[in-house]
Structure formats: structure tokens, C-alpha cells
Amino acid sequence: MKHFLVAIIFMLMSSAMKIYASDMRFYNADNTYGITIREPSSICKDDDGFMWVATKSGIYRLSDESKCYNVPYTTVNIVSVELVHRKGELYVFTNHGEIFRYNKRLDRFEHYLNLLSALNTEAIYLADIKIGGDKDILWLATSAGLYHCVNGKCTRIPGVEGAVGNMTMDGCKHLIVASTGGVYRINTENYDREVWNDNPGVFPTLIKLDKAMNRLWIGTMSDGLYYLDCDTKELKASPIERFPHQYVRDIEIVSDSAIWCGIDGRGIWQLSRDGSRVTEIFQEDKDNPMSIAGNGVLDMYYDSPDRVWVCSFTGGVSIAELNSPLITHFRHRVNDPNSPTNDYIYDVAEDSKGRIWIGTNGGLSHWNPDTEKWTNRFGHEYESFIVRSVCEDSKGDIWVGTYSNGVYVLDGNTQRIKAHHTDRQGILSKNGFVFDILRDSNGDMWMAGMIGAIIKYDHVTGQFDEYPVRPVSTIAELDDSTLIMASNNQLLSLDKNTKEIKELLTDNMIQDIEVTEGKIWVASNGNGLICYDIASQATETFNLKHGSVSDNINSILYHNGNLWLGTDNGLCRFNIADKSVASFDFPETAGKIDYTSDASVKLSNGTSAWGTSEGLIILDTESMTSRTPSGRIYLQDILLSSRSMRDMPDIMPEMPLDEITDLTLQHDQNNITFSLQPLGSRSHTSLFSWKMEGFDDDWSELSDLSIINYTNLNPGNYTLYIRLYNPDLISERKISIHIKPPFWATWWFKTAYVMLIATLLYLLLRFYINRINRRHAEHKLQFFINTAHDLRTALTLIKAPIEEIKRSPNINEEEKQYLQLAIDQMQRLTMVTTQLMDLQKIDLGKGQFHPMNYDIVPLISSRISMFESIAEKRNITLTYSYKPESYVTAVDAGKIERIVDNLLSNAIKYSHEYSSVDINFTANDNEWRLSIVDHGIGIDKKSLDNLFKEFFRSENAVNSRISGSGIGLALTKKLVELHDGKIIVESREDEGSRFEIVIPHRLCDSAPLPVNAEEPESADKSIDNEEIKNMRILVCEDNDDLRRFMKRPLGRHFNVATASNGVDAWEYIKKELPDLIVSDIMMPGMDGFELCRLVKSTFETSHIPIILLSALSDQSDELHGLGLGADDYMTKPFDMKTLTQRIMSIILNRRALGSRVISEVGETVEEADTKESNELNDAFVRQALKIVVNHLEDSDFSKEEFAREMGVSTSLLFKKIKALTDMTVVDFIRSIRMDHAMKLLNDRQYSIGEIAYKCGFSSISYFSTVFKKHFGKSPTDFRA
């Protein structure tokens, strides 16, 4: 009895559950989007159309390219993660109070608020968040009450009692809040509170406002479902007695007549809109893959109009397609006999009674639409029974073609097997593999397969006939006498009467055939849809390029002028008239399903049935023709050289990338990749096409690739056009792109570059011209130098004899005046020559400038005094004023002298007799000025601008018949400019002129030099004439007359030898070692500078003094000669008396040097000051001193031993000692011994005898004799 009651109760419960059984189909998002989502807790949809799913491991964004976002949690104590979206803002929050906001611009979640820190509390439970009117305003439902949060600052709303479980927005200005203390309606602007219920008696975990029914649905954790009447504010429990008292997680209004309640652990309960009854229950059914995955429903989202997303704890995310009048989907359900025997369907057929027959991979099934029942055959009786084709004959019987089991004929009423035709019976000619069965217009049955011939069954005679065609996968009837068939990648025609076979197409893997008016339509695998025109035998192909969803077409169905194409990527429609392709926003049911080959049929009720790899689909194609796809292009990312712009803050715009319409990039950011996604379309057949205006000539081919890549774009302006097809054009967008040129390609750089090139060409041309001019100038300068040399040499030959004659005692005063006049004119000619050469050097840039500190006042005064005699001759008074009396500044003294000389000379020359020339000197800390004012002929105005040009003379100066060269003022101006100064001129014709020079004040590091150098010492009259007469002087001069002339006056005093060039002179010097050399500088072969260098750098000759003669008067030339070691430098023309005196001075200096060296010998030879400028000579003297000092006590130390230790011959030792000290070798040794003896006597440590021995004397008497002769007193007298 007990078991009977249990059985009765079980049957009643099963009956009750049957009442709520549902055909609702759920699809798993993991399969749809290719991801794995575990334990989802919340789901929502943003404004772009993305679905977002929250899990503990991350936030998923679902799309064709789904993405998981990491959330920067600060704790692992997470119970649940929730999503909330409103007004374009997406927030994520956890139960312990962490809130994160999605940054669309940077495509990441960022920490927004930590509620524990904001409220300064240790524990709180955050149950819900609602976004206010402003995106930065949040309403927080917490265990501590209701909070209002603005920019991270939280304020508790008073009057809301208890823990707040859930909230919902009522329009824009009101918030409905449910807490343990009641239900409230809050004004979000002024926080006014309206109490709807203050004693609910339950803990509300969820509320849902149904404004149409004027109800507020309230879900609880364990008290079931309640609702509150918004008018009466009366709270009532659900009238459904069996409603579970379990956690109501979510409520969604899915239609005008139904609401869904998601219950944790009990699935989804669908209620009538008023909540009075349960209409369906959706729970997990392990035997039904189309049921909801998991009963632990945590959240739902109604995606209007026909889709609901469901989050379950164990099953992930499921997608429910609400019942659509357009689509019916039948799939096999395990352990459910009222379902197809298998999901893989090979063929579909409709019989005359409206029943749908399907051949599957597991047997034969048929659907009776009247009884809504499925009936299955062969699936249980036979193992691996595969039905490949189904067809009804003219008697209403069903012919079933199988894979390897022949053909079964079933009674159309009883479904009993009436016949079984196999190859074993000899009927099918070994063709037990029947792929297609066709009933032609005559009522005959045609069977085709993989093996054997085509078999015809004559329905009148009941006889079978063979047609030799193999293998054949599908057949169709062209007319009452012709069949069309697919065989071995060929399209063939078969004449029923003659059995003639013709080849129509080749090289196509044909899946299905459809015949329309004069055309054969072929579904191919890889080549799309092929149209064969029967009359013209022409073909035309339609594929992805034309908008098809795939090139792999498996089945074709003609309906109302359209071809419906079942592909491996869904379904699309081809319009035969305009050859356009259209696809549709199918639900997941028919979206991306693989339609099987030759498995479609038009049903009698106007719909169509399609076989797929996932069951049977029945479509209302009549209604679907009016539906159009929708969607838009979403710009997911822009990458520059494979790096996202979001990672490049310098160029990342302030807006999200999807909102970009203009893009400006640098020249090296020209490798651009655009990542796209189709949004808003449920079809999985979206295709893209694009064109970069300015780069592409044509649009790209349609492609399902969502990546657009361009590399090495040149700088310039581009416009990227992107189109989204489905397969029709449904969306288009454009992005303007500006790639900046590199700085070297900008207009301003090109302009600067052109200007630079032009400048360089100009400078190059100038350089070339200047080089030519410089070459000409150098030639010109060389000409002037050569001319000056010849002139000065000639002047020397004139001046020197005149000077000799003038010094003769036999001439009278009148003759002396004439001679002096000639000398003055020669000096004037010399000065003009010098100025001309200096001017040319400065113009060529070879003018030397050597400033040193001088007291400028006496320097100027000395030059003025030189002109007093000249001024007196013309009765001109010179007046000189200066302030201050002393002024030290850095100047080139020689050039200042020439400036003063030129200005004074001109002032005196052009002044009237009995006039005056006023000279005034002034100075301050910054500059000094010298003005010279004359009262003469002046300068006319038109000549002032050209006054400082070379060789220019004013007209009145020329007319005055006063001689002049036109060089002086030009040279003066250039000399002033070398000092960074300027020259100012003021003049009036016939009144006079005023010249003023202004030179900046500066100082050098050197101490001030005296203005007047000491004159060379005159030759010592006590010099032994015989000694001088024996001195050998070499005169090297290329001018024969001057050389012969110089030899005569010098020969009176010295033994003179001559050479005509430097090469001959050097050979003589090496051989004879003269005592002194006088050499001209400008000579052929080897000039004087090179000769001087050789003499002073060769050990054997370095002691020989040398005097250089030159026509070059520039100070730099003199310094160059002295730098090479020359002992003196004289400028032509020169006075022979002066030259003789200079030679005598060098002899006296050498003698003084020898005495000084001997007297300064101390305990260490290194302390002796040799005062030799030549390093070779200095080393020689030091070595000689050292050797003598080392042999002071050696009485046998001789000149031969001395020469041996010096490493030279006795004669060379004699010559060098004589030249450097003016002493013989014996006198040199004796002098050192005597100086040493004197030091010992002054020390008074030794006796005279001991001193004699220490100084190398073996005889005291001889020592005393030598000592007395050397010092004038005996050693005893010095000791006294």
C-alpha cells in the first residue's frame, strides 16, 4: 500500500511538471562566442550593444572577438561581483564595497571608490548601485543604509531605515528603495522621501517596477515572491502556492503577457504578467542540450525583442531565444521519443499529408504537425542506420534511400515496410549506397548513389532500368525528358529516352541543383552559386564578392523569385531578378549553423524546411522577406606599428577610439592597423570592405577579416572608408587621416633647404671667385713684394753710398744738403713702398695684428715730435693737447705709429702756410680718441664717400699739385679697423679737415712696454782691431751690385766672404764655419728663412750668429725670422754703418755672455744661467761647464781631452767656444778655475796652496801669477 501511494504521488508530480514543460531553447554562450565563462554573477548591455558578464576572475565582453578584462581588486575577499550600466557608464562593484568604472577611452576598468575607506568603517555589504542623472552620481544600497555618492564623496540619506537590499529607478527623478525597514520612493534632486510601506515583514533582495501593471515586484531570500500595489501601497504575497521559497535573484518582464523569475537553485519560472499563475518552468535537463545550463540562476537580462541572457552559477551564460513565429527548430533530445532520432539531417521531404520526413545519421523520423508528434524508424532496430534520401511516390508510399542498405519502401499510412530493394536482389546493380531519390513528372522513381548506375523504377510497369552514370550525388529534373545530375565534380544531363549523357560543367564540387526558367542553379563547395544558362551555355558565378555569406553552398531552394541558399555559415537569399544577396538577423537558432547538402524542401503551408548538422529548421520565408539586417561598425582599436594608441598617451585623443573621425599622426607613425567589430547584428555573416582614398584605387574585396592594415603610408591626407555588409550594405563610416611630413619634407624646411642650397651655391661661387681673386691678389702681392724687394735693394744701393759720401770729411755743407735731400726722398719712396705692401697684405687677409699694452700718450707724442721740423719748414704750428697724461691700452704700436704718421703727414702737407695743425687726445674707460685738425685746402663733398678707397685722391688735392699716392688714408682706415675702431672725417673745401680715430679700450695680460727701446750698444772701441779683422763674415745676397757694395765697407773691419744664394751659402757654412752670417731673405733656391732654420738647427752651426736683411717691413716677418733663431733683423734700405754697429753689438753680447756664464758657475752646473736662446747652444755650454767643473782638480786636463769628452773635434770645440763665449778653449778652462778659486778664497776654508791644487794648479807660484793676471791682485792680497 505504501509503495502504491508513493507511485501515485510520483505520477501526480510528473503530471504537474508536464503541465509546465517547455519547448524553449537555450544556447550556451561558450559555444556561440568561443569562450569559457565560469560562475557568472551579473550581466548587462552597454550603449554600443556589447554584452558584459561579471565573474570573480574578470569581466567578459561578448562579441565576435570576445575579451576578458582584469579588475584591479585590492582584496581577495570577494563573494559576488555585479555590473550596472546607465547613461553610457559601466560600473563594477563587489560585495565588500569596491567600485570600479570602465574607462572606454583606455578600454580598461579603473578603481573608482573604496566604500570602506570612504565611510571609515571596517565592514559593510554593498548590495546594489544605481547611476543617477549625472554619470558621477551614484546611489548605493548598503547594509548600513542608503548613500548618495558624488565624485567619490558619500552622504547617507536619512529616513531610509534598515539594510537596503535593492533599488530601481522610477523615471529620471525618482528612486525606489527596498530595505528591511520598508519601501521608499526618493526624489533624486531634493531627497524628499515618500514611504510606500514601512512594515514589509520580509527582507527584500530584489525589486522590479512594472509600470504597465502598476506593480512593484519584490523578491526575497527565503520568503518567495511579493508585489506591492503602487496605488494602494498594499504589499501582497504571490498567489502561486507552489512558488519556491528560495532566493529570488532576478525578475525580467519579457513580454506583454509574461515575466521571468530567476530563482537560485530552481531555474526560471515564467509567470503570467499579473503573477497569478505559472505558465512555464525552465530547468536544466541533462537529456536536452537545448535546456538551460544550470538551475542556479543569478542574473538575467532581457535583450529586446526576443532574447534573454541568463547567468547561472554552474552553467555559465545561456541565451534564450523567445518563441518566434518565423523559426521553428527541432533537435534530438536524449531519452525523449518525441524528438528527431538524430541531429545530423541528410534529406528533408514532405508527403501529401503534410508530414515532414527527415533522413538522419541515426535513422528515419517524421513530424506530424497536426499531432505535434515525432515518429522514428530504424534508429533502434538497426545499428548505424543512415538514411541519405527520402521521397514519396505517386501512391503515397515513402521511398527511403540508405547508406549501404539499399532502398526501403514504406507504407505511407502504416509505415510498414512494403519492399526492400538491395543489390543482393540484383535490382540496384550493387548500388546499396543511395544518395538521392527523385520522382519525376511522369511519376517514375529515380535512384542515384555512390556505386553502380542510376536506377529508374517505372511506376506503371513496376520494372527497373539502369543508366550507366556513376557516381551521382544529387539529381533534378530539367523537363519531362531530361535529368540534371552531379557526378564526379561534373554537371551532366541525361536524356531519359536515349540514355545520352552530356557534360555541362566541370571542376566544381556540386552539392545541390535547382532548375528555374531556362537556368540551372548549382550549389558548389568553394565556388559559391553558379548559374548555367541552358540556351547560351554561359555560366555566371556569385560568391562572397557579391555579398554571399559563404562560398560553400550546400542546398538551394526556389521560392517566389528568390533562391534561398543554405551554407556552412548560415542562410541567405539570392534575388534572381536583380542578382542581389540579402542575409537576416536570425536568432542563434539559424544564425551560424552548417546547412547540409541537398536537404531542403518547400512546404505546402508556404514555409520551408532545412536540414542542418544541428537538427531541423522550419522557416517562414514569406514573412522573412520583409526583415532587414541592422548593425554598425565598431572601431575596437588603432595600432601604430603593432602598438595600441591607448598605450601612447602623447597621441591618444581625449575621446574613445570608436568616436574618432579625424586622426593626425607623425611621419614615422605610418604603419596603421584598424581593429573592427560588427555591432548590433545577430548574424554571424558580417563582411567588411574598405578603401583608403589617396592610396587605394578600388574597394577591397568583401572579407570577414576585421583587421585593416596599411604600411608605409606617405605623408599626406587620406580618408578611410569602411563598409559593413550582411550581405547588403548596412553601415558605413569614414576616418580622415593626416600624416604629417617629417620636418625635412615640410614647406618651410624645403624653402629653407632651397635657400640653403642657394646660399651654399652662392657661397661656393663666392669662394671660387674669392679664390680666383685671392690668387690674383697673391700674384699681385707677390709682384709688389718682388717689386718692393727690387726697389729697396736699389734704394739700399743708392742710400748706402750716399751715406758713405755724406760721412766723408771732404764735402762742404751745401753738398751735404743735397745729399740729405736725396736721402729724404729715398725715405719717402721707402715709406710709399711699405704702405703699398701693407695695404695689399691687409686686403688679402694676411695683415698681422700684435697688440700689446702701451702708454699711448708718449707713443703719440714721440711721433708728433718727429714732424715738428717738417712743420717748421712750412711755418705750420703743431699744437698737442692730451687728457689724461698717461693712458695704458693694448695696441699694435707699429700700426698706431703709421696711423699717426699718415694723418699728420697729410695734415701738414695739405695745410696752408702759417696755419696750424691741432692734435687732441682724449680717453675714458671704454675708448680713446685722437683728432687731428688742419686749416688747409679741405675736401669737396663729392669726394668724401670715396676718400678711403685705394689710390683715390680728391679733385682739389690733385689740382693743388701736391704729390700723393692715394694709399695713406686707405691704409689708415684698415689699420684702425684692425683695432676694431673707426675713423671719422669732417671737411669743408678751402677751410680744412678734421680726422678723428676712435679705438675701444682693452688690455692684454702683458705689462706695459716702454715706448722707446734702448738703442743698440755701440761697438766697444777697446775691441782689438786685429781680432775683429780675423773674424770671417759671410754675406749672402742675390743682387750682385749690393753684394759687391756690402763687401767693400764690411771688408774694412772683417774678413768677408760672399754667396749669391742660400744653397751656396749653406755649403760654405758647413765647410768653413764662419763667425757671423748676413743674409738676404728673398733669394732663389733657398730663401733666408730656410737658411736661418738650417743654421740654427744644426749642431755644428747653431752657434753662428745670423742677421737677416729684407725688403719686407711687416712686423710678422721680423717675428718669423727672430723665431727661427736669427740674432737680428734689418729692413732695406739700411745704412752700412748701422749694419756694422749691429755686428759689433753681437760680438760684444757674446763676450758678455761668456763672462756671465763663467761667473755664474756654482756647486751644480744646472744652476748656471747660460742665457742662450738656442737650445743646441744652451746644451753645449752646459755640457762644457759640467766637464770643466768635473776636472777642476786635474792639472793635466787639456783641450784635447776636453774635445774628446764633448764628442767634437778640437777645431770645432774651439770655434763654438770662441763663438759662444768669445774665449779660447784654454781661456775658457782658466776662467772657470779662476772663478772657482775666488769662491774658495772668499769662503776662507782652505789655504792658498790647497786652493791651487783644488783648481788644478800643480805650482802655487804659477797659480798666484795667473790669479793676479786675471783679477789684478794676488791671492795673498785678497786674503789680507
DSSP three-state, residue 469: coil
**DSSP structure class, residue 822:** H
Which of 426-440, 734-748, 961-975, 1189-1203 has the highest average model confidence (pLDDT)? 734-748
Query: What tens digit of pLDDT does each residue of 1178-1191 get?
Result: 777 788 888 888 87
pLDDT reported for residue 705: 85
Reply yes or no: is the peptide bond before residue 305 cis, omega within 30 of 0: yes
Least confident of 26-30, 230-234, 723-727: 723-727
Question: How buried is residue 4: exposed, middle or buried, by Cβ count under 10 Å (0-12/13-18/19+)?
Answer: exposed
- Residue the block writes with cell 561579471: 54
Query: What tens digit of pLDDT does each residue of 534-552 get?
Result: 999 999 999 877 777 788 9
Residue 10 — pLDDT band, cuts 50, 70, 90?
Answer: very low
Which of 128-142, 219-233, 762-776, 821-835 has the highest average model confidence (pLDDT)? 219-233
**CB-based contacts of 829-836 (< 8 A; 24+ apart in sequence):** 829/791, 829/795, 830/792, 830/795, 830/1133, 832/965, 832/967, 833/787, 833/788, 833/791, 833/792, 834/788, 834/1113, 835/898, 835/902, 835/965, 835/967, 835/968, 835/971, 836/784, 836/788, 836/965, 836/967
Question: How buried is residue 1192: exposed, middle or buried, by Cβ count under 10 Å (0-12/13-18/19+)?
Answer: middle
pLDDT reported for residue 960: 59
Name the pairing type of β-strands 204-210 and 643-644.
Answer: unpaired
Q: Which CATH number fits domain 329-369+377-624: 2.130.10.10, 3.30.830.10, 1.10.3720.10, 3.10.20.30?
A: 2.130.10.10
pLDDT reported for residue 209: 94
Q: Which CATH number fits domain 848-989: 3.40.50.300, 3.40.50.1370, 1.10.760.10, 3.30.565.10?
A: 3.30.565.10
127, 249 in Cβ contact below 8 A?
Answer: no
Rounded CA gap, 105 and 108, in Å?
A: 8
pLDDT reported for residue 958: 60
Residue 317 — pLDDT band, cuts 50, 70, 90?
Answer: very high
pLDDT reported for residue 410: 94
DSSP three-state, residue 502: strand
pLDDT reported for residue 382: 59
- H/E stretch holding 154 reads strand 153-156
pLDDT reported for residue 1267: 81
- Residue the block writes with cell 500595489: 229
Nearest in space to 236 (alpha carbons), one of 198, 200, 267: 200
- Residue the block writes with cell 527541432: 330
Rounded CA gap, 1169 and 1157, in Å?
A: 6
Judged against a pLDDT cut of 50, whether residue 772 lies above it is answered with yes
- Topology given in CATH for the domain delimited by 1031-1134: Rossmann fold (3.40.50)
Q: How many helices (H) and strands (E) does the chain have?
A: 25, 76
> Mean pLDDT in the chain?
83
Residue 91 — pLDDT band, cuts 50, 70, 90?
Answer: very high
pLDDT reported for residue 484: 94
665, 652 in Cβ contact below 8 A?
Answer: no
Sign of torsion over alpha carbons 785, 791, 795, 798: positive
Average pLDDT in the 1002-1024 region? 53
361, 344 in Cβ contact below 8 A?
Answer: yes
Nearest in space to 436 (alpha carbons), one of 463, 480, 403: 403
Judged against a pLDDT cut of 80, whether residue 842 lies above it is answered with no
Query: What tens digit of pLDDT does each residue of 457-470 get?
Result: 999 998 988 888 87
Q: Which residue has the higher pLDDT, 21 or 758?
A: 758
pLDDT reported for residue 1024: 55
C-alpha angle 644-650-654 in degrees, rounded to nearest 5 = 80
Dihedral of the alpha carbons of 322, 327, 332, 335, in degrees to the nearest 10: 40
C-alpha angle 745-747-750 in degrees, rounded to nearest 5 = 65
Rounded CA gap, 937 and 907, in Å?
A: 10
1251 Cβ neighbours under 8 A, 6+ residues apart: 1237, 1240, 1241, 1263, 1275
pLDDT reported for residue 1224: 78
pLDDT reported for residue 246: 93
Average pLDDT in the 302-322 region? 90
Written out in words, the top-level CATH class of the domain with range 632-745 is mainly beta
Q: Which residue has the higher pLDDT, 713 or 1?
A: 713
Residues of the chain above pLDDT 90, percent: 38
Rounded CA gap, 1032 and 988, in Å?
A: 62
pLDDT reported for residue 738: 96
β-bridge partners, 345: 360
pLDDT reported for residue 841: 62
Query: What tens digit of pLDDT does each residue of 610-667 get?
Result: 999 989 999 887 777 655 667 889 999 999 999 999 999 988 999 999 999 999 999 9
Which amino acid is it at 1126? A
Judged against a pLDDT cut of 70, whether residue 1173 lies above it is answered with no
Judged against a pLDDT cut of 90, whether residue 308 lies above it is answered with yes
Rounded CA gap, 1187 and 1207, in Å?
A: 12
Intrachain domains 632-745 and 1154-1279 with the same fold: no
Per CATH, the number for 1154-1279 is 1.10.10.60
Residue 387 grid coordinates: 538514411
1274, 1214 in Cβ contact below 8 A?
Answer: no
pLDDT reported for residue 373: 94
Residue 1105 grid coordinates: 750668429
Q: Which residue has the higher pLDDT, 15 or 620?
A: 620
pLDDT reported for residue 647: 92
pLDDT reported for residue 77: 67
Enumerate the domain spans of the chain: 329-369+377-624, 632-745, 760-847, 848-989, 1031-1134, 1154-1279
pLDDT reported for residue 1146: 81
Average pLDDT in the 845-874 region? 82
Tell me the CA distances in angstroms from 436 to 377, 386, 488, 830, one per residue in order.
19, 13, 15, 130
Rounded CA gap, 469 and 877, in Å?
A: 144
Sign of torsion over alpha carbons 736, 742, 745, 747: positive
What is the pTM for the complete model shown?
A: 0.60
Query: What tens digit of pLDDT does each residue of 923-937 get?
Result: 999 999 999 999 888
